[in-house]
Structure 1
């Protein structure tokens, strides 16, 4: 499996659409022409950590923004309800053959927007293009038997 940010984004949007089928989800920060309520999915700063061999850990920050109608009198209660449900449905994100755990999940309400933020940690590896050794006996490794 090749892990990509696009694949992760599709998986997150799939979880949101499954649990909120009537609320549109956008991955583009352009807010013009969108109707509320809606979700926006953004990537936050990410980093990588080296691991043994050709592997490394990608720490990917995600911010899901929920927007509701500002004139709605129960906007705060709506956001609390959405945050509570996201706590349950986003513990794991289904991703092709398995699931990715989310870490450091937190939410806050800022200027009538719910920001649900978390980190995904995925261990990935570089492709190995070195030729395989057919047998230990045939491998010379640059050592000559009868060198004088």
Structure 2
């Protein structure tokens, strides 16, 4: 299975649209044409550490932002509902790389806050990955019919 940032975004977006099908999920800030309410997915500072062999430890920080119209009556109620949904369903979330296979990926350090009437739900995905080396295999073998001359 291939672990990539693009597939992480797609997997999280799939989980969110499964529960909230009318709320679009964006992976970049929209300046125009944003439909509210909606979700934004951002990566926050992340690290990669090299381990033994071709193994790496990847710590991805994610900020999932829920945005709705400003100054709504009972606007915090929807924010709390989304936060509770994420608390219950995010760990683990189903990750897929598009091959049809899905694996549960645990998240850590979940925390959420409300800033400017927006929910910021932040968490980390910590995983070890293996980067396979490509071997340069011999394509063709050349035959060499050279003999050894013996001295008489």
How many corresponding residue pairs?
132
1:54 offset after TM fit, Å? 1.2
Mind listing any 5+ residue stretches in structure 1 that lack a counterpart? 133-148
State how 1:1-148 maps to structure 2 within 5 Å.
1-96=1-96, 97-130=102-135
Q: Residue 8 of structure 1: SS of its match in structure 2?
A: helix
Give per-residue Cα distances to partners, 1:22-53, cap 9 Å, x unaligned: 11111111242112111011111110122222
Q: Residue 91 of structure 1: SS of its match in structure 2?
A: coil
Give per-residue Cα distances to partners, 1:57-111, cap 9 Å, x unaligned: 1100111110111131111111111101111111112113311100100100001
The equivalent of 1:145 in structure 2 is none
Measured in 2, the distance between the counterparts of 1:129 and 1:103 equals 32
TM-score, normalised to structure 2, is 0.81
Q: Residue 30 of structure 1: SS of its match in structure 2?
A: coil
Mind listing any 5+ residue stretches in structure 2 that lack a counterpart? 97-101, 138-152
1:131 offset after TM fit, Å? 7.5
Q: Kindly name which structure, 1 or 2, has the bigger radius of gyration based on alpha carbons.
A: 2
Pairwise CA RMSD:
1.6
The equivalent of 1:135 in structure 2 is none
Q: Residue 18 of structure 1: SS of its match in structure 2?
A: helix
Measured in 1, the distance between the counterparts of 2:65 and 2:75 equals 14
Distance 1:48 1:73, change over 3 A: same
Measured in 2, the distance between the counterparts of 1:122 and 1:14 equals 20
TM-score, normalised to structure 1, is 0.83
Measured in 1, the distance between the counterparts of 2:134 and 2:113 equals 45
